[in-house]
Structure 1
Amino acid sequence: MKKIILGLVFLCSSIFAGQVNIAVAANVSYAINELIAEFNKTNPDTKIQVTLGSSGKLTAQIKNGAPFNIFMAANMKFPESLYEDKIAITKPVVYAQGALAMLSSKELDYSKGINLIKEDSISKIAIANPKTAPYGTAAVEAIKNANLEEATKDKFVYAESISQTVTYATTAADIGFIAKSSLYDEKLSKYKENVNWASVDPTLYTPIKQGIVIINNAVDNAEVKAFYDFILGEKAKKIFVDYGYIVK
């Protein structure tokens, strides 16, 4: 029986050898494939398994034992909570800073800035759930700081993640607050700045500092550390910049 058990343990170890499981905030979905491709140029034997979602939901999954090795969140709050609970073994650090944009499939007058959303022609505004998605939180903050909360309170359509917000913004809603990085996806290349989209005034919301941590199940895992170091390195920074992020 011992030999059988040992054999099963070895088999399971072999199946997962060379695989790094990462939980990734939905706004990074547009850049993650290029990041992985660049990493695999020097680490060809390491398979990166990606799970995308809102940072709040991914945090809950990690706290419930989901087998992620790295968490790339859309803000610092969620990875900080993992570190405080001793679920993460590295202190959260910023890997990129995101920005908000407004997007519509329609041609709109973006010279009005965020005040555009109070127009009668805008009846549905898509935002990510502010309870679980940091970009949704930032959108709500921007709307409040622009004193538009009362004028728009009945217009909101909530999405589960920022990537779903993009879908809503171009289908079910008149406009949506999205991650600016989304606009670098080829599928959205037909939408033009100041015609279909515009950046949201960054003074209206707290800077979206996105944090990364290594989860405690990956202690002493060299491949996990290699990918973590890559994300904080110069090659990854260049990719993030290419997708509209700010890096320092």
Structure 2
Amino acid sequence: MYGLKTNIIALISLLLFSLAVAGCTSSENGDKAQENASQKEVYIVAAASMTDAVKEIGANYEKQHPDVKLMYNFGSSGALQSQIEQGAPADVFISAAQKQMNALEEENLIDKATRKDLLENKVVLIVPKDSTLVLDDFAAAATDKVSKIALGEPKSVPVGQYSEEIFTNLNVWSDIKAKAVYASDVRQVLSWVETGEVDCGVVYATDAAISDKVKVLLEAPAGTHKPVVYPAAMVSSSKNPEIAKDFLAYLSQDEQKAILAKYGFDVK
């Protein structure tokens, strides 16, 4: 009888403890759900080459603004431009070229007053880390030394547009086109070079800097392409314009400029 009593007491104690734990967990989950519900979602739409830097800066911003949840959309600037034109959620747009931002400005889809040139980048030719390929200059990519070269799609990917401009000015574009493999954004070019699916590829210096699986063979010759300038602006349809403007200003703070510089960007 005594043992039975003890077991019943132990069972009741365990049940009360379980209920207490469940209550705490429910309370914590409720608090978290309430916190998430009160957060404002702000969409940062940015060129693929900005992925790592923007995510790091964004994490800093969220720590300082717990009421804000940043949502990211990275890709080729041309594809992102099309998405904004079609009404996709967007508060801040950072393009890897002026062309896409100019088009959106002409359509009144960005707030012209918030537009600014944020930073610059360089265009480089990369090869897999263990590659033995030797090229004296960019034009040599058109020779028989290279059978496949990865490029961004010139119609929608800025790095592809810069690549076409460079090789056209070097008078070898027709030969390059015959061996080109086109990627949907600069990170896909990087990936193909990393895995050795191509002999070489053209990316931004910042993309090459984040990978230990590639090496930079050459930098594009001066004067062969327009400056690689990244403009940023608030999207006109922003549902959180004050936060969007604040984030744009935040990008220009010294601490955030240091992060951009760390990833190899030339900060304006």
TM-score range, shorter chain: 0.7 to 0.9
Identity across aligned pairs (percent)? 25
Could you tell me which runs of 5 or more consecutive residues in structure 1 were left unpaired when the two chains were aligned. 1-13
TM-score, length-normalised on structure 1?
Answer: 0.85
Work out whether 1:40 is the aligned partner of 2:62: yes
> 2:94·2:231 contact (CA, 8 Å) conserved in 1?
yes
Could you tell me which runs of 5 or more consecutive residues in structure 2 were left unpaired when the two chains were aligned. 1-35
Aligned pairs for 1:15-94 within 5 A: 15=37, 17-91=39-113, 92-94=115-117
**C-alpha deviation, 1:51, in angstroms:** 0.6
Q: In the alignment, which residue of structure 2 is the partner of 1:5?
A: none
2:177 to 153, 165, 181: 153
Work out whether 1:144 is the aligned partner of 2:198: no
Q: In the alignment, which residue of structure 1 is the partner of 2:118?
A: 95
* CA RMSD in angstroms, aligned pairs only: 2.1
Q: Deviations 1:128-152 (Å, cap 9, x if unpaired)?
A: 0111111110011111111222332
Distance 1:115 1:83, change over 3 A: closer
Work out whether 1:113 is the aligned partner of 2:113: no
Q: Which amino acid is the alignment partner of residue 102 of structure 1? A: L
> 1:103·1:198 contact (CA, 8 Å) conserved in 2?
yes
Q: Which amino acid is the alignment partner of residue 148 of structure 1? A: V
Q: In the alignment, which residue of structure 1 is the partner of 2:155?
A: 131
Q: Which amino acid is the alignment partner of residue 206 of structure 2? A: S
Distance 1:137 1:50, change over 3 A: same
TM-score, length-normalised on structure 2?
Answer: 0.79
Distance 1:192 1:166, change over 3 A: closer
Q: In the alignment, which residue of structure 1 is the partner of 2:31?
A: none
Structure 2 CA distance, aligned partners of 1:16 and 1:124? 51
1:184 to 203, 209, 213: 209
Give the number of aligned pairs.
230
Q: SS where residue 123 of structure 1 aligns?
A: coil
Distance 1:128 1:207, change over 3 A: same
Q: Deviations 1:52-106 (Å, cap 9, x if unpaired)?
A: 1111111111111101111111111212221221111234321111111111111
**C-alpha deviation, 1:222, in angstroms:** 2.4
> 2:91·2:241 contact (CA, 8 Å) conserved in 1?
no
Q: Which amino acid is the alignment partner of residue 242 of structure 1? A: K
Structure 2 CA distance, aligned partners of 1:102 and 1:247? 22
Structure 1 CA distance, aligned partners of 2:102 and 2:116? 9
Instruction: Name which of structure 1's ranges 89-98 and 39-48 shifts more when overlaid on structure 2.
Output: 39-48
Q: In the alignment, which residue of structure 1 is the partner of 2:16?
A: none
**C-alpha deviation, 1:113, in angstroms:** 1.9
Structure 2 CA distance, aligned partners of 1:226 and 1:15? 21
Q: Which amino acid is the alignment partner of residue 109 of structure 1? A: V
Q: In the alignment, which residue of structure 2 is the partner of 1:239?
A: 259
Q: Which has the higher contact order (CA 8 A, sep 6+)?
A: 1
Q: Which amino acid is the alignment partner of residue 63 of structure 1? A: E
Structure 2 CA distance, aligned partners of 1:80 and 1:239? 27
**C-alpha deviation, 1:203, in angstroms:** 2.2
Larger radius of gyration: 2
Q: SS where residue 88 of structure 1 aligns?
A: coil
Q: Which amino acid is the alignment partner of residue 42 of structure 1? A: Q
> 1:30·1:184 contact (CA, 8 Å) conserved in 2?
no
> 1:57·1:132 contact (CA, 8 Å) conserved in 2?
yes
